[in-house]
Chain A
Amino acid sequence: MAKKEYAFYPGCSSQLKGSASNYLTSVNSMCDTLDIKMTPIPDWNCCGASVSYAGAGELSRHVMNARNFALSAEHLPGQDVVATCAACWLGAKETKEKLDANSVLMADTNEALKEAGLHYKGGTEVRHMVEVLIEDVGYEGIAQPVVKPLEGIKFAGYVGCQTNRPFGIAGESFENPMYLDKMVETVGGEALTKYEQKVSCCGGALAFSEPDKSQKQIKQIVESAYDQGADMIVTPCPLCQANVEVYQSEINRKQGTRFNMPVAYYSQLLAVAYGASAKQAGLDGHIIKPTKLQEIAVKVVAKK
């Protein structure tokens, strides 16, 4: 397989000791196996996420994203910008589409960027890691390096919102996207395709400002996984992961439930299936231990 190279936009939560640092760990391991080279955009900045609108105007948000595009074009010319975080991807992609379509907005953006000594010519492609896997690597390519199929583990594929809407993954429906289930099956796991909270909202950033309303959402997301007989939830979104894992104890405390449902990233599944250790797959980064994945990660198998 020829080496694939991308300009990596890892995002704030993935940084060392950040709330999704184990996501990054597993992505690195997965990409090593798949011969994908991810070079972080030098000095990348926050995208502003989806909840900064009270303080940020539209232009400020676009300028933040365009700064990353300009840095990427300067240092990693010709490479697609690839984000692992749903909000980073959405924010950056929205900016890309708006600037491509509106020359006034583009001129204003560049006038502001000049203050940071940068210029954005346009044309940057913004993609999610999931798109790289599905479109550039392909399901066959994903399956090829599997040495430890995730046999016997039942996964509730929780796609969530922002990896699915408004842009979504090409060829998938907004109401019932199948890529996550397909990915689970590709690495040997059992996908619970009837999991009905697949595209529900966990409250997103409002999990902080509206905890009770968000925890109501999270409760349904976890309950439904139990109803389907899931061993764990799997998601492509770092905020979904954090919200759905971290608040289970709060819901237990307030409502007397006994939730203890692990929530893993798709990249951790792939990493473990490719033979990564628990540490390499970021399995040590959970409050609720993904024991079934850990069991497979410690198994010794003959190298393919």
Chain B
Amino acid sequence: MNAPNELNLVALSRYGNDFLREVEERVEDGEWVKMCMQCGVCAGSCPFGPHWEHSPQKIFMMIRAGKRDEVLKSDSMWMCTSCYNCVVRCPRKLPITQIMHGLATYANRLGLAPKMQPTRQWSLLFWDNCTKTGRVNELKLTLGLYFKDGLVSGIKQAWAMRNIGLGLLLAKRLNPFELIKGHECKDKAGIHRMLKKAQEIEAKRLGLGER
């Protein structure tokens, strides 16, 4: 999912220039966007603020201005650490963190999110990891991140972090056998079925794929 896909074409033909409506209908908590009064408290409250190309405040204005590509292709939302500082400070009580996550989800669904954005890759790894067995396999998750760009860079990263790994191993907070078999839910199959169903229901509710 890293090139504009069929869902994106269908969305374009459905919403045209009305990006605000698209966000309101398809992005989690998107109906809140128009409540933003551009005060900038969110921008000033973000721990990763300096690293955002566009602060949440700007993103909200860009949505209203119909800057669809600039928003969905931006790596800004992927800078959210989920600290919820903006949420508790927002005078209009916008669920900003949730909207940023929702925009990231939507951009990824349409294949518009920046492919190499590290948090996008990390996020996909995390969801895949925790839903495979119903529980996170911490070792596979960490190694998956190190080795995402191939064997050589993976070995380099793992080597750089060897002392931390050893420290955790000695503290009994890392289990090498997780590579073979980690913790898991008994009803993995049920979890897979329910998640498949949830995705179907959500796609239908959001009208993904409908013109």
- Residues in chain A within 8 A of chain B (CB atoms): 12-13, 15-22, 43-46, 48-60, 63-64, 67, 108-109, 111-118, 161-162, 165-166, 168, 174, 200-201, 203-206, 208-210, 213-214, 217, 242, 246-247, 249-250, 284-287
Contact = CB atoms under 8 A, between A and B. Distances in A.
A51 B124 CA distance: 9
A200 B173 contact: no
B211 interface: no
Given A12-B130, A19-B168, A57 B198 contact: yes
B18 interface: no
B138 A51 contact: no
A232 to B, nearest CB: 16
Contacts of A108: 198, 201-202, 205
**Interface SS, B side:** helix
Contacts of B194: 63, 67, 112-116, 118
30 contacts: A12-B136, A13-B136, A16-B183, A18-B138, A18-B175, A19-B168, A19-B173, A22-B172, A52-B123, A53-B102, A54-B113, A55-B126, A56-B105, A57-B202, A64-B131, A111-B201, A115-B194, A116-B193, A161-B82, A168-B88, A201-B47, A206-B119, A206-B122, A209-B118, A210-B79, A246-B168, A249-B167, A284-B171, A284-B172, A285-B171
B120 interface: yes
Contacts, number: 216
Interface of B: 28, 47-48, 51, 79, 81-85, 87-89, 95, 97, 101-102, 104-105, 108, 113, 118-124, 126-128, 130-131, 134-136, 138, 142, 145, 161, 163-164, 167-168, 170-175, 178, 183, 185-187, 190-191, 193-199, 201-202, 205
A60 B171 contact: no
Contacts of A18: 138, 173, 175, 183
Contacts of B163: 249
Contacts of B142: 208
Nearest to A287: B167
Contacts of A115: 190, 193-194, 196-197
Contacts of A166: 84, 87-88, 95, 97
A214 B183 CA distance: 28
B132 to A, nearest CB: 10
Contacts of B201: 59, 108, 111-112
B127 A56 contact: yes
Given A115-B194, A165-B85, A210-B79, 9 more contacts: A50-B101, A54-B120, A55-B124, A60-B195, A60-B199, A116-B193, A166-B88, A201-B85, A213-B51
Contacts of A203: 47-48, 81
**Interface SS, A side:** loop
A148 B190 CA distance: 48
Contacts of A55: 108, 123-124, 126-128, 131
B81 A204 contact: yes
A165 B126 contact: no
A284 to B, nearest CB: 7
B193 to A, nearest CB: 4
Interface-centre pick from B123, B124, B161 (highest chain A CB count, 10 A): B123
A48 B197 contact: no
A174 to B, nearest CB: 4
Contacts of B186: 43
Contacts of B187: 43, 116
Nearest to A94: B98
Nearest to A12: B136
Interface-centre pick from B118, B170, B194 (highest chain A CB count, 10 A): B194
B110 to A, nearest CB: 12
Contacts of B199: 57, 59-60
